[in-house]
A and B are shown apart, each in its own frame.
Chain A
Amino acid sequence: MTYHFRQALVAMRGNFTATLATLMTMTLTLLMLGFVLLLTLNVNRTLEQLESQVEVAAFLNVGTDGAALLKQVQGFPQVREARLVSSEEVLEEMTRDSPYARDAVTLVGNPFPTTVRMRVGRVEDSRVVAAAVARLPGVGDVEYGAGYVDPTVRALTAIRAAGYGLVGLLLMGTLFNILNAVRVAMYARRNEISVMRLLGATRGFIRMPHVIEGVLLGVLAGAVALAVLTPAYFGLARRVQLLAPVFPVVTDPAVLAPILGGVALLGITIGLLGSLFASRRYLQELE
């Protein structure tokens, strides 16, 4: 194994430019992936918070059978929980928030309609549920905070999708770089490989230095990516907490460790798989 390890280091030093290019692309890919994963984690956390706050409220027309409508609404699979709030209860709430509401009642009567309040399983479902409930007979109007839920969900989903798309492209770029690095290294060793084959070396023996090279590149790229990503994330998290405390930024190490560890592990896996594939393919080419 010492021999293979030494050969891998010799190959990396001998093809320094290709090695550096591969290392940089891998690191960039892992950084991007880490960024997108952390972003997704925080997006999900924000969406969860939105979910816990967002309510769909259906205001019933006078004379509507609220209990029957509640049953109907509870039958929707997207609705996690629903309750009927009478106009008197609404008035109570409103009076708590603004005491002058009680004075208004003495002038015009209770202006608040009986309301069915619903919480949805996923915040993205708010619009669908609102539209479905609005079509039910006896429902006068529906509110669901459309002003901020829709654009927020759209923006966050788009950012997440773009991030994953970019990571996909970078992963492909990394794989091509590994293929190229292994190919150059094997070409440089072609005389040695030819001698090894004549002497009866197995394919595994010949390929081993290149596989080690791929794994080493993965380990290095993973380490660099973590060294950059971890302090950068915690620095950014502190700033967000300071400037926009409304966002629930994740800083719990127990939650972050598997994601950061996964990024490093992915680097090693890409290095291993890329070099396994490349060494197998280019050894056949040399044969």
Chain B
Amino acid sequence: MLHHEHDFILPNNAALSIRCRGKRMIDFKHVTLEYPVTRTLALDDISMHVGKGEFVYLVGHSGAGKSSFMNLVLKRALPSKGEVRVAGEALAHYRGGRTALLRRRMGTVFQENLLLPHLNAYDNVAFALRVTGVAQREWPARVTTALRTVGLEHKKYALPLQLSQGEQQRVAIARAIVSDPPLLLADEPTGNLDPDNSREVLKVLQNVNLRGTTVVVATHARDLVETFRHRTLTLRKGKLVRDDPYGGYAL
């Protein structure tokens, strides 16, 4: 449940004060990922962690391993070596049907917003509650709060086609947070957006982070990383080459 309503516009460095609270949300221990068919080494002996409540950027060129990192956390790929833990639990424990339970603890946002075109904004957000079996009586309050968090409460009856790209992405964020997951993964969430919409989306993600949600954003957007400064992990050719606690885009 979303309990607090925050001002939509936040200071650029607001999240710095709540960085890393000790416990680990994501923990990589000597993780290597090699795709078996192509024999591509996507990640090479990565060890790092993301603390609960942190806002972390994952930056790097195309092919650096950002999406592979996300795929491992989402358990869409399995590490060739090493161990991945989310919220203290090794992902190896999530097998078969339990993978669904793991994903209920994470919100995901992608470059393509993956909204269902025949559903309006409200129903797209409510879809996340439907598929996870949340009682229907809880939907109105939760969906409305999520849409309010992303600043789109007034557009809840609009179909995706009637929304701008930035608004669609904000609906996707609302859908990702409506179940109140402790972790939000955003893979190139501003990849299809113009600078203004990109800033709006980043502000929404910071807003989500301020509620206590751990946020990991994989991005190319140098200006955003420089403007909204947070801890930044830099990947190059599958290796973690830099972990800057105060941010900055240095490739």
Q: How many residues of B contact A (CB 8 A)?
A: 19
Contacts of A191 in B (CB 8 A): 114, 116
Q: Which one, B104, B114, B116, contacts A200 given CB within 8 A?
A: B104
| A68 in the interface (beta carbon within 8 A) | no
Partner of B74, one of A196, A198, A205: A198
- Proximity bits, B127-157, A CB within 8 Å = 1, else 0: 1101111000000000000000000000000
B61 to chain A, nearest CB (A): 25
- Could you say which of B95-103, B210-218, B240-248 contacts chain A? B95-103
Chain A residues near B108 (CB, 8 Å)? Answer: 198
CA distance A197 to B104 in the complex (A): 10
Residue from the list B104, B116, B132, B175 in contact with A192, Cβ < 8 A: B116
- Given contacts A3-B130, A205-B131, are A199 and B116 in contact (CB under 8 A)? no
Q: How far is the CA of A204 from the CA of B132 in the complex (A)?
A: 12
The interface bits of chain A over 231-274 (1 if a CB of B lies within 8 angstroms of the residue's CB, else 0) are 00000000000000000000000000000000000000000000
Check A195/B114 contact, CB under 8 A, given A200-B131, A200-B132, A201-B131.
yes
18 more CB-based (< 8 A) A-B contacts, given A199-B127, A205-B133:
A191-B116, A192-B116, A194-B114, A195-B127, A197-B103, A198-B74, A199-B103, A199-B128, A199-B131, A200-B100, A200-B101, A200-B105, A200-B132, A201-B100, A201-B131, A202-B97, A203-B97, A203-B100
A–B Cβ pairs within 8 angstroms, 24 of them: A3-B130, A191-B114, A194-B114, A196-B131, A198-B74, A198-B103, A198-B114, A199-B103, A199-B104, A199-B127, A199-B128, A199-B132, A199-B175, A200-B100, A200-B101, A200-B102, A200-B103, A200-B104, A200-B131, A200-B132, A200-B179, A201-B100, A201-B132, A203-B97
Using a CB–CB cutoff of 8 Å, the interface residues on chain A facing chain B are: 3, 191-192, 194-205
